């Protein structure tokens, strides 16, 4: 019981937690990106138009973040760099697309945003390509 109430943790526990967070966040986000990737032709004319860049280009940027950056996140390669497009993408979803509705329609995007921000701050952990390379 004493161990459950302690605030101390081992480096093994930290690295295992970061691995689980990276893989789960990356896999769940990749599912969103994959749906957009395979449905590109049907979504390109109706997708959110970011800063007047055009729906197709905005969708392409979203697919890059949600699919390819999520893949790099899962393996832990350039972790802090690839979290930036993911944070931008989920921030647009939370604050603009879902109009800051954190608890109803924007709940999923809010959870993703929180997880990606944690990964940006804490890094990938040692069980990653970045950790093995010593970055």
**What tens digit of pLDDT does each residue of 30-39 get?**
999 999 999 9
Chain centre to alpha carbon of residue 17: 16
Q: Cα separations (Å) of 89 from 46, 122, 128?
A: 17, 20, 23
Global pTM value: 0.88
**What tens digit of pLDDT does each residue of 53-110 get?**
888 999 999 999 999 999 999 999 999 999 999 999 999 999 888 778 888 888 899 9
Average pLDDT over residues 17-34: 95
CA distance 132 to 122: 16
Question: What are the domain boundaries of the chain?
Answer: 12-125
**With contact defined as beta carbons under 8 Å apart, do 92 and 49 qualify?**
no
Q: What is the DSSP letter of 46?
A: T
């Amino acid at each position: 019981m004493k161990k459950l109430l302690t605030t101390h943790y081992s480096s093994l526990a930290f690295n295992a937690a970061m691995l689980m967070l990276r893989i789960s966040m990356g896999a769940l986000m990749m599912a969103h990106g994959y749906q957009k990737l395979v449905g590109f032709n049907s979504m390109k004319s109706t997708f959110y138009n970011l800063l007047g860049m055009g729906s197709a280009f905005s969708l392409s940027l979203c697919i890059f973040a949600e699919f390819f950056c999520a893949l790099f996140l899962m393996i832990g390669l350039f972790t802090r760099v690839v979290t930036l497009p993911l944070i931008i993408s989920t921030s647009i979803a939370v604050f603009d697309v879902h109009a800051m509705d954190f608890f109803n329609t924007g709940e999923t995007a809010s959870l993703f945003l929180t997880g990606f921000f944690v990964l940006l701050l804490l890094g990938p952990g040692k069980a990653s390509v970045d950790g093995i390379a010593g970055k």
